[in-house]
């Protein structure tokens, strides 16, 4: 799933030496100019606190309010600006998670809050990237969030539901995504400014499944590896767009239908395009996601999602974002045949959201989600979740 820290930085601003102190996009300000001074030396901080206040008000398992919360502290170091060596980037990202899980009251496959996680503090990312040949080739090594680069669209990042990051057909196999990442080696080649080919190999089991607390980097027998590759084209002259195709393979996987241990694979495509966009950032864009996993060993063999993202629906609020999106996670025929009458064909999600940059450092985002056939369990009624996200850039 897409980490919400990226949306906070996009809406609330980024490091800038040009802004006045009272316009800085951080609650704690520019530390008397120290943040800008560090940025000039290649050291940039991202410190964001996020809380979702979400209530399942109808249907689902029961009606309750939960407040999943994350604290993100990420440091990026440009090795050239730091005076070390050229073409390098070092990233260290600490993640704290707390609060209850809304999905315990909904029972959905596609989780209402993409920041739900056990109460803990962990090292979420720690990687080094080096670029070669005029930045056409890059190699990255370390703890890495797969969804930060693969299977991602910018326009879907405003939504709270987990499916608008990785689709459910990938999320169900436990890849290196929030809240636990795995060691990885990633290679990316950009033959032109608007095209790329990238691939990565991840440890097949992120962290320790038996201990979700703290940081665990383990390489155990039977973990296997998850490999993923993606090729894409982007455009930005006049109208931004992205179209990408990818595929993934696991060498070891617990078959969800037979219980046997075997390999697993799937493929996906994502796309997005600006229908119109003004120089001030106001505009309307649409995105789509489509993914498939092997039917004979996965519950969800088909995922489809899409929606629109409208920035500045009112000229008086040019930074606000209004979005509507729909996602579907479908059960495969083999899974349904192995569990006759126990599940419906699939789960459909509708999300409506509105993100408001109240101040340069505070985001308030009312949100509504409706789940049709949550969990694909016929015993669970359709569920309505309402609430809001609160995000502060510290």
Region of residue 148 (left: phi > 0; alpha: psi -120 to 50; beta: else): alpha
Q: What was the pLDDT predicted at 262?
A: 87
Strands (DSSP E) along 278-361, which ranges? 283-293, 300-311, 321-331, 346-359
Tell me if 143 sits within 8 A of 222, measured CB to CB: no
What pLDDT score does 160 carry?
98
9 phi and psi angles, rounded to 5 deg: -65, -35
* Residue-level pLDDT at 17: 39
Helix or strand run (H / E) with residue 336: helix 333-338
CA angle (121, 122, 125) in 5-degree steps: 140
For residue 366, what are the CA distances in angstroms to 158, 161, 357, 358, 389? 11, 13, 12, 12, 6
Q: Which tokens go with 4?
A: 């919400």
Q: What is the pLDDT at residue 14?
A: 43
Q: How many CB atoms sit inside 10 A of residue 107's CB? A: 21
Q: How many CA atoms lie within 13 A of 226 on its CB side?
A: 28
Residue 357, judged by CB atoms within 10 A of its CB (0-12, 13-18, 19+), counts as: buried
Question: Residue 301 to residues 2, 107, 126, 257, 290: CA-CA distances in angstroms?
Answer: 21, 19, 32, 12, 11
Q: How many CB atoms lie within 10 A of CB 108?
A: 29
| Distance of alpha carbon 38 from the chain centroid | 28
Structure tokens at 181: 């990442």
User: How far is residue 309's CA from residue 353's CA, in Å, rounded to a whole number?
Assistant: 10
First-to-last C-alpha distance (Å) of the chain: 23
Taking only the tens of pLDDT, the chain with its 394 residues reads 555 565 555 555 543 434 455 578 899 899 888 999 999 999 999 999 999 999 999 999 999 999 999 999 999 999 999 999 999 999 999 999 999 999 999 999 999 999 999 999 999 999 999 999 999 999 999 999 999 999 999 999 999 999 999 999 999 999 999 999 999 999 999 999 999 999 999 999 999 999 999 999 999 888 999 999 999 999 876 789 999 999 999 999 999 998 888 899 999 999 999 999 888 889 999 999 999 999 999 999 999 999 999 999 988 889 999 999 999 999 999 999 999 999 999 999 999 999 999 999 999 999 999 999 999 999 999 999 999 999 999 9
Structure tokens at 304: 């489809």
Q: Is the peptide bond before 179 cis (omega within 30 degrees of 0)?
A: yes
How does 282-315 read in b/e, with b if 16+ C-beta sit within 10 Å? bbbbbbbbbbbbbbbbbbbbbbbbbbebbbbeee
Where do the domains of the chain lie, and which CATH numbers do they carry?
A: 4-393 (2.40.160.180)
Q: Given this model, what pLDDT does residue 280 score?
A: 85
**Residue at token pair 């897409």:** 2
């Amino acid at each position: 799933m897409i980490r919400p820290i990226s949306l906070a930085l996009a809406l609330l601003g980024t490091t800038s030496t040009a802004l006045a102190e009272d316009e800085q996009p951080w609650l704690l300000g520019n530390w008397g100019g120290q943040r800008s001074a560090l940025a000039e030396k290649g050291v940039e901080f991202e410190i964001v606190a996020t809380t979702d206040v979400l209530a399942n008000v109808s249907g689902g398992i029961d009606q309750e309010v939960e407040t999943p919360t994350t604290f993100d502290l990420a440091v990026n170091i440009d090795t050239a600006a730091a005076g070390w060596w050229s073409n390098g980037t070092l990233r260290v990202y600490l993640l704290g998670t707390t609060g209850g899980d809304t999905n315990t009251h909904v029972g959905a496959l596609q989780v209402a809050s993409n920041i739900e996680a056990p109460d803990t503090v962990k090292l979420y990312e720690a990687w080094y990237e080096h670029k070669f040949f005029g930045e056409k080739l890059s190699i990255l090594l370390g703890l890495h969030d797969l969804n930060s680069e693969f299977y991602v669209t910018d326009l879907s990042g405003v939504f709270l539901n987990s499916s608008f990051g990785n689709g459910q057909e990938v999320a169900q196999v436990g890849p290196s995504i929030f809240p636990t990442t795995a060691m990885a080696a990633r290679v990316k080649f950009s033959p032109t400014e608007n095209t790329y080919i990238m691939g990565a190999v991840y440890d097949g089991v992120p962290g320790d499944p038996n201990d979700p607390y703290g940081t665990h980097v383990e390489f155990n027998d039977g973990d296997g590896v998850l490999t993923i590759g993606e090729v894409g084209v982007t455009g930005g002259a006049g109208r931004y767009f992205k179209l990408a195709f990818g595929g993934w393979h696991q060498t070891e996987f617990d078959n969800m239908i037979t219980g046997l241990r075997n390999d697993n694979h799937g493929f996906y495509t994502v796309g997005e395009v600006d229908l119109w966009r003004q120089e001030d950032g106001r505009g309307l864009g649409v995105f789509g996601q489509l993914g498939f996993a092997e039917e004979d060993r996965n519950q969800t063999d088909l995922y489809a999602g899409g929606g629109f993202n409208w920035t500045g629906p009112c000229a008086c609020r040019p930074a606000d974002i209004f979005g509507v999106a729909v996602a579907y996670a479908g059960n495969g025929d083999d899974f349904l045949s192995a569990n006759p009458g126990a599940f419906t064909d699939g789960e459909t999600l509708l999300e409506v959201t509105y993100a408001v940059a109240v101040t340069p450092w505070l985001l308030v985002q009312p949100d509504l989600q409706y789940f049709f056939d949550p969990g694909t369990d016929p015993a669970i009624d359709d569920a309505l979740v309402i609430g809001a996200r609160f995000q502060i850039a510290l």
